[in-house]
Structure 1
Amino acid sequence: MGGSPRVVISTGQTLPHMDWTGELADLTDSWPYLGPTWLAATEKVLPEAQPWHTVAGRARGELALLPGYILSTPPVVDHEPRTYLGRRAPTGEEVCCGAETDAARSAEIDALGTEPFFPTLLLGSPLGYRTEVAYNFWAPTLMGAIVDRLVPAALEAGVRCILAPWIPDRRGNEALVSALDAAGAHSTFWGYEDFISLDAPDWDGHLAALPLKKRQRIKGDVRRAEAAGVAIRRVDGTDIRPHVQRIAELTCLNREKNGAGEQPEHIVGILSALIDQGADVRAYLGYKNDALVATCVAIRKNHRLFPKWAGFDYPAIGERSGIYFALVLDAPVRDAYAEGLRTVEFGAGAHQAKALRGCTPRAVTTSMLLADPALRPRATAWLDAFGRTRRAAFGDPGTPAPPATLPLLGNAAGTGGGCCTS
């Protein structure tokens, strides 16, 4: 008999067993933050997040994974559903990249208490700031089928809110947003993440292709970094181990400066797990007077490079030293060209500054579904207001680049600042 193999979907699952080598082979084009290596480490450092993953399979070795975590009590602001309605935490912490909040709206949301929102099912990678399906097979109805199975199962399990905070505008993900909306959710603008397509033959060609002002900014960053007396060197893999704690400390200082919160042990745990698994991790280290004052950690996965953690000792290097850009943008892009990679994915954070240096934006969407249908109209209005304040916070740079193509098959071999990410 003909026809396609049947897709089998299971909810409330633990992670599938797969090591980093397996991820490279079988989840080739998925973000590292969505794979079992990263997520298993997340589950160790966030024990309060109960794994509740949705797994789809079709034939031998064909896999699609939408990570999910049940949060029974209010978590940090970036994982707190009420933040995305415009609530300001009593601690003053802000969601990544910040946005103006309305005191009256925040009070109205607080007056509802926690019962309408918890337990919450957060979809995606909590410390990877990404809501997306990792997969190695494709079917036109895959995203819709996953959501159609996930939503009723989560509500039956007692979930009061389903939150998909960070859905990037990559081709295929519009089906994820549409399916959530069809199930009763509402979606709004969250922000932009930035990337660079490596279309030039090399670094010099890349610079030459940029508009004059952007080229001058990049060269100025390098000059300021040199004038600050900071020497940059790169270490890879297990050679990063002696620096892991300092990397975590500097990264958390940077995020605290930008209004977001993360614990050093989160970074130590995940970075150590990546090193243990043999992932291609590299750290760019900035030294001044023999002291480690600036760091940027990037992960290579096949044909892409992902700068993830960046941290700086600003009292030591100053606020306008140029080190951020020399360390986070220039050094990784130079290396990516030298290695023949295709894309450098910078994520969110410092969006406007990255755009001024040649990065391309990709929009990110937040979607939320409340179990109580009576609250949904108010949540819709609050989400829309939150989206407007986010656009203002990001400077509303206009129309982003067309969505990047999600691969239909993920088994082909690859070529060899902010607050929430770099």
Structure 2
Amino acid sequence: MGGAPRVVVSTGRGLPDLDWEGELADLTDVFPYLGPTWLGASEKALTDLQPWHTIATRARGELALLPGYVMTVPPVVDHEPRTYLGWQAPTGEEVCCGARTDACISDEVDALGTEPFFPALLLGSPLGYRTEVAYNFWTPSLMAQMVSELVPAAFEQGIKCVVAPWISGRSGNDALVTAFQQVGGHSTFWGYEDYLRLDADSWDGHLAALPLKKRQRIKSDVRRAEAAGVHVDRVDGEAIRPYVTRIAELTCLNREKNGAGEEPAHIVDVLTALLDARADVRAYLGTKDGAVVATCVVIRKHHRLFPKWAGFDYAAIGERSGIYFALVLDAPVRDAYAEGLRTVEFGAGAHQAKALRGCEPRPVTTAMVVSDPELRPQVAKWMDAFGASRRVAFGDAPAATRTPLPVVSGGSGACCSDG
């Protein structure tokens, strides 16, 4: 008798063998940060993380991938599971787009030490800040089946904590959050990622359709950038190679300014791998007095554009030059309209600034499950408190309960997706 093909899930795997052309064909609608090209480069750059991927297959050529990485010792704060409980690193580093958290909770988490949490399994793309299943087939139970098999398998291997830090509110991803709840985990609000649907017929049409204040703000950004004496050019593909090191330097300067940490070598490795794979990569370069003082790297995949890295030499251009908006928001959108694309995916960071220029938000959720059942209720309470602090920082809390807890990244740039 016939019937639906059986889904087979395997855990602790390496990456599937797909080049960039294969990703375009077989993982058409998947974010580039979740494909083997990006992840393979990340694995070469992040040598302290051990690949442990979950793969589901069904019939010939049908594939679903949930990336995972084992961390045996505490990593940088954005990958550190305790950060999502409100723990504050002794170094003072903040989680991407972070908010100040309760010092008492941080002390409580710290008092437990690392033993209840490590080794930990981080699900998603560590340098892409996305926890999502990359798939070319779908069933209603796909995500639940993958999570229900990977979590017990991880615990059997001695993993103490499975954390899915950045689950985007894209259609269908609620099943991933629900799957964690079904295996004893908990979830909380992390923040927002921003995107822009290109509904107008052109850039000029886009500007004309915006409310007056947003239109004026964009025009003001352009005037301020011009007044700063910064000239913006775009280079594509192989023409980017001479600027890779400078792009990495400026990006990391920006991240340090916003409280997040990343090494230039990570960006060099991933960007070089994308160029080697002949991915459609563009770089906007801002020059002043003959020097590159601002950069923004953008990836195109089919009908979508993905601004990823941005960096600025604030000593050269000042803190309020307007070049961030002209380079990161305006230039990619202008080109996307010219190419007939459908969406610009800006990701997380500088949420309020993006909203003021016409972007729409998606919520991002963090999910976590620890192997110790007795610790789970306390973890849930800490996560709820962390999520509440994030909502205050993003302006979601009721006015009566708000306290001055600023978003660390501010409006001058982002710390995980585009700057």
In the alignment, is residue 421 of structure 1 matched against residue 407 of structure 2?
no
Q: Deviations over 1:53-80 (max 9, x none)?
A: 0001101111000000000000000000
The 5 Å alignment of 1:18-97 reads 18-97=18-97
Residue 397 of structure 1 and its aligned partner are, at CA, apart by 8.5
Q: Hey, what does 2:403 align to over in structure 1?
A: none
Q: Partner residue of 2:186?
A: 186
The letter for the 1-side match of 2:80 is: E
Q: CA deviation at 1:396?
A: 1.9
Q: Report deviation, 1:171.
A: 1.3
Paired residues for 1:234-253 under 5 Å: 234-253=234-253
SS at match of 1:252: helix
- Counterparts of 1:79-228 in structure 2, within 5 Å, are 79-228=79-228
Taking the aligned partners of 1:397 and 1:103, their CA distance within structure 2 comes to 20
Distance 1:357 1:380 in 2: 36
Question: Superposed, which structure 2 residues align to 1:276-295 within 5 Å?
Answer: 276-295=276-295
Q: Which amino acid aligns with 2:261?
A: G
How far apart are the structure 2 equivalents of 1:397 and 1:311? 31
Q: Which amino acid aligns with 1:49?
A: L
Match of 1:401 in 2: none
Trace 1:333-412 onto structure 2 (pairs within 5 A): 333-396=333-396
Q: Spell out, residue by residue over 1:59-114, the C-alpha distance to the aligned partner (whole angstroms, 9 max, x if none).
A: 11110000000000000000000000001000000000121121111111111010
- Match of 2:262, SS state, is coil
- Helix, strand or coil for the counterpart of 2:44? helix
Residue identity opposite 1:77 in structure 2: V
Q: 1:46, CA displacement in angstroms?
A: 0.5
Code of the aligned partner of 1:112: L
Counterpart CA distance in 2 for 1:176 and 1:126 is 18
What TM-score does the superposition give when structure 2 sets the normalisation length? 0.96
Q: For 1:136 and 1:208, how far apart are their aligned partners in 2? A: 38
Is 1:257–2:260 an aligned residue pair? Answer: no
Q: Distance between the aligned counterparts of 1:171 and 1:101, measured in 2? A: 30
Aligned to 1:403: none
Residue-by-residue CA offset, 1:362-418 (whole Å, 9 max, x unaligned) = 0000001010011111110000000011111112289xxxxxxxxxxxxxxxxxx30
Output the CA distance in 1 between the equivalents of 2:33 and 2:233: 25
Deviations 1:286-331 (A, max 9, x none): 0001110000000000110000000000010011111000000000
CA distance in 2 between partners of 1:266 and 1:149 (Å):
31
* SS of structure 1 residue aligned to 2:305: strand
Secondary structure in 2 aligned to 1:84? helix
Q: Which deviations, in whole Å up to 9, do the C-alpha atoms of 1:98-148 show, x marking residues without a partner?
A: 211211111111110100000000000000000000000111110111111
Q: Are 1:97 and 1:393, in contact at CA under 8 Å, matched by a contact in 2?
A: no
Opposite residue 420 of structure 1, the aligned amino acid is C
TM-score normalized by structure 1? 0.95
Inter-partner Cα distance in structure 1 for 2:378 and 2:235:
51
Counterpart CA distance in 2 for 1:37 and 1:392 is: 37
* 1:354 counterpart letter in structure 2: K
Distance in structure 1 (CA, Å) of the matches to 2:148 and 2:373: 17
Q: Deviations over 1:173-209 (max 9, x none)?
A: 1111001111000000000000000010110110011
Aligned twin of 1:266 = 266
* Alpha-carbon contact 1:298-1:305 (below 8 Å) kept: yes
Structure 2 counterpart of 1:298: 298
Secondary structure of the 2:294 match is: strand
Q: CA RMSD in A?
A: 0.8
Runs of 4+ in structure 1 off by over 3 angstroms are none
**Counterparts of 2:215 and 2:253, CA distance in 1:** 30
Rounded to whole Å, the distance in 2 between the matches of 1:183 and 1:2 is 32
Deviation at 1:3, TM superposition (A): 1.0
Unpaired stretches in structure 2, ≥5 consecutive residues: 399-412
Cα displacement string for residues 4-61 of structure 1 (whole angstroms, at most 9, x for unaligned residues): 1111110000000000000001000000000000000000000110000000110111
- Say whether the 8 Å CA contact 1:53–1:67 is kept in structure 2: yes
What one-letter code is carried by the residue in structure 2 that aligns with 1:421? S
Identity %: 75
Aligned counterparts of 1:380 and 1:20: Cα–Cα separation in 2:
39
How many residue pairs were aligned? 404
CA distance in 2, matches of 1:117, 1:397: 30
2:406 matched to which residue of 1? none
What is the one-letter code of the residue matched to 1:137? F
Matches within 5 A, 1:311-330: 311-330=311-330
The AA in structure 2 aligned to 1:113 is G
User: Whole-Å Cα distance in 2 between the matches of residues 75 and 283 of structure 1?
Assistant: 30
- The 1-side partners of 2:186 and 2:27 are apart by 29
**Structure 2: distance between partners of 1:223 and 1:333:** 17
Give SS of 2:22's match: helix
